[in-house]
A and B are shown apart, each in its own frame.
Chain A
Amino acid sequence: MLSIKNLHVSIEGKEIIKGLNLEVHPGEVHAIMGPNGTGKSTLAAVIAGREGIYEVTEGEIFYKGKDISEMAIEDRAREGIFLGFQYPVEIPGVSITNFMRTAINEIRQYKGLEQISAANFLKDMEEAKKLVGIQSKLTNRSVNEGFSGGEKKKNEIFQMAMLKPDLAILDETDSGLDIDALKVVANGVNALKTDQNATIVITHYQRLLDYIIPDFVHVLYNGRIVKSGGKELALELESKGYDWLKAEA
């Protein structure tokens, strides 16, 4: 599904990711953990294709067997890469309903499919709303405008449910959530899991991993993955902190 080889990324001349390797297969859930400022969000943005301040100086990203270095952001999205944002942006005056229908129809057009019918769209919306427990009227509101922290994160998972990506990257989806909201978000992610899709959960805390059980845990430190293991690694990090890994980095 995703194969990252020797990835180096710089921001304004400063190297943030320094030779990162990662293999993700269909049906897997990977957790990427690590202290702040180690390049977790940079990795997510670069997989999604963000440019601007991010410069890939070396290495390759293969997705579904293709090198996607030159692929535009929107095409990566249409090919099934979804990024759940750490700080979802507000788009005033644009309803979630309209936003989602625009996205879905552009993706369908890319795949040579007809526009989604109003009935199917509404049905999908109802299911997705139920999945993340958001109120009906929320989708009539402008995208993220005036949303609480919890509503913003639920809205990300709602969109994920609508778009049904092959590879979902959830960037600090747990930050700013109370325990109830965390459970709702985790349940949503679990319900969307199949043996065909993959999820990368980026998190600072182990807490989310009580609800989303990862197959693999990677520790990102100083721009590299310094340790990989099973779900027990997350517990180890929780009890010991990150300091003991500094020696290994």
Chain B
Amino acid sequence: MANDENVLIDNVTRGEYKYGFYTDIEMDTAPVGLSEDTIRFISAKKSEPQWLLDFRLKAYQHWLTLEEPDWAHLHHPPIKYQEIIYFAAPKKKELASLDEVDPDLLETFNKLGISLEEQKRLSGVAVDAVIDSVSVKTTFTKTLQKHGIIFSSFSEAVQNHPDLIKKYMASVVPYTDNYFAALNSAVFSDGSFCYIPKGVRCPVELSTYFRINAANTGQFERTLIVADEGSYVSYLEGCTAPMRDENQLHAAIVEIIALKDAEVKYSTVQNWYPGNSEGKGGVYNFVTKRGMCRGANSKISWTQVETGSAITWKYPSCILMGDNSVGEFYSVAVTNNYQQADTGSKMIHLGKNTKSTIISKGISAGHSNNSYRGLVRMSRRAENSRNFSQCDSLLLGDKCGAHTYPYIHNENKSSIIEHEATTSKISEDQLFYCLQRGISEENAIGLIVNGYAKEVLKKLPMEFAVEAQKLLTISLEGSVG
């Protein structure tokens, strides 16, 4: 790990958002705005069965009755839902090999340093790459097929495995759950589906790279992961977005189902465009992520490193239904300049002897606001359950804010909830100590911040940890002094 920390320091580059470029690929787009017609257009484009169209329409009708939530510690101009394009897809699809992939698209991946070929050849990671809503290429399918693992775009899964989709979709996040979940359920464009059969340990890390690409295109991804009894999977989600002036709305849903004795590890590095140093532009990220430990002894673990987006509204949660099930949430959230993050987790203990851990590390710099919001609930049935929460905030400078909103409901006497919270600053003494050893201020902050976040970073798979460390340093450049 020490070695990688160093690689990170070496690789730090200065300047504007590194991944701000734009790929010109021919689009097949829906008309601007949201209506039943838009939804029918999306559904028809994807040749969806009637039941799915009905689901979308019901969600849309429900969404119309809702109002945008305003309880989060976030401020933004009203989102103009009628000015968003709800569907855009690259025209070419169904490719047999990488040679058939649009060269512009490959170039995009190359710029991001995640070329499919590289991924395929070097890291043994199967990549389901999503550019503007439609999965272009799925690799490693054959290896996965051998184990009976299904890993495909959501649309393909609707065609090929309608029974599984029908059974599990919206079983953890119903369309009635919240405003953005209802919106997503109505207009979701694509996403990923993953099914690990009974007793199978997925031999590779499953990885999806999301990318927002076209102007004014909302991104409404939908991810569904089902881990059948006794199975295991580690799933990686990483994001970059090109620079853009208008705010981009992103409202994804991720659902995880872990059956008896199954384990799912879900890791995210989120690096969407945060807006420029004056707070202009940037992605609005309103995501509903939830896992259900449905069977006994199951486990779901969320690890996230959030450095991007102008606004982050995100609470990866676990419903611990099965007895002895385990939920974990490890988070590093960085906000700089005018970024705002309201993020945390919910741990709902329903089964006996269930355990949950929340480790949240917030880092605020510039004029940003960083809030932790978490709920821990022990139901009456959840005897002998435990939660441990630790929420730390690190402040850089004196114009940023850190807030902690822990909510606790304990309905039985045998369960224990522990909560610890700290707020600290990078001290002048620490900086002076580093500088006196010849370390520059940027690197000193990088070192101190990565040290502070280490407890979370070490939970990430290796290749992700390196990327995450780099991001932490890059996203805090110029934040002190």
Interface residues of A (CB under 8 A from B): 48, 50, 52, 72-74, 77-78, 82-83, 85, 88-89, 91-95, 97-103, 105-107, 110, 115, 142, 159, 163
A103 to B434, CA, bound (A): 8
A82 to B437, CA, bound (A): 7
A83 to B436, CA, bound (A): 7
When A52-B428, A91-B430, A94-B450 are in contact, do A77 and B5 touch as well, CB less than 8 Å? no
Chain B residues near A110 (CB-CB < 8 A): 438
When A91-B430, A93-B455, A94-B451 are in contact, do A106 and B2 touch as well, CB less than 8 Å? no
A48 to B455, CA, bound (A): 33
A72 to B451, CA, bound (A): 25
A106 touches B443 (CB 8 A): yes
When A88-B433, A98-B2, A98-B447 are in contact, do A93 and B439 touch as well, CB less than 8 Å? no
Chain B residues near A48 (CB-CB < 8 A): 432, 436
B412-450 CB contacts (< 8 Å) to partner A: 427-430, 432-441, 443, 447-448, 450
When A52-B428, A89-B430, A102-B9 are in contact, do A142 and B451 touch as well, CB less than 8 Å? yes
B438 touches A106 (CB 8 A): yes
Closest to A52 in B: B428
Closest 7 CB pairs of A and B: A93-B451, A94-B451, A93-B454, A77-B438, A103-B437, A73-B435, A107-B438
A197 to B453, CA, bound (A): 39
A74 touches B441 (CB 8 A): yes
When A52-B428, A89-B433, A110-B438 are in contact, do A98 and B452 touch as well, CB less than 8 Å? no
B108-126 CB contacts (< 8 Å) to partner A: none
Given contacts A89-B429, A97-B2, A99-B439, 7 further A-B contacts (CB under 8 A): A93-B450, A93-B451, A94-B451, A98-B6, A102-B439, A106-B440, A142-B451
Is B10's CB within 8 Å of the partner chain A? yes
A115 touches B448 (CB 8 A): no
A92 touches B438 (CB 8 A): no
Binary A-proximity of B1-39 (CB < 8 A = 1, otherwise 0): 010011001100000000000000000000000000000
Chain B residues near A74 (CB-CB < 8 A): 435-436, 438-441
- What are 18 A-B contacts defined by CB distance under 8 Å? A48-B432, A50-B432, A52-B428, A72-B435, A73-B436, A74-B436, A77-B435, A77-B437, A77-B438, A83-B436, A91-B448, A94-B447, A95-B2, A98-B2, A101-B2, A102-B9, A107-B438, A163-B438
Tell me the minimal C-beta distance from A137 to chain B in angstroms.
13
A106 to B6, CA, bound (A): 11
Chain A residues near B432 (CB-CB < 8 A): 48, 50, 73
B429 touches A103 (CB 8 A): no
A91 to B439, CA, bound (A): 14
A159 to B441, CA, bound (A): 19
Tell me the minimal C-beta distance from B331 to chain A in angstroms.
16
Chain B residues near A142 (CB-CB < 8 A): 451
A103 to B440, CA, bound (A): 9
Tell me the minimal C-beta distance from B6 to chain A in angstroms.
6
Closest to B455 in A: A93
B447 touches A102 (CB 8 A): yes
Closest to B443 in A: A102
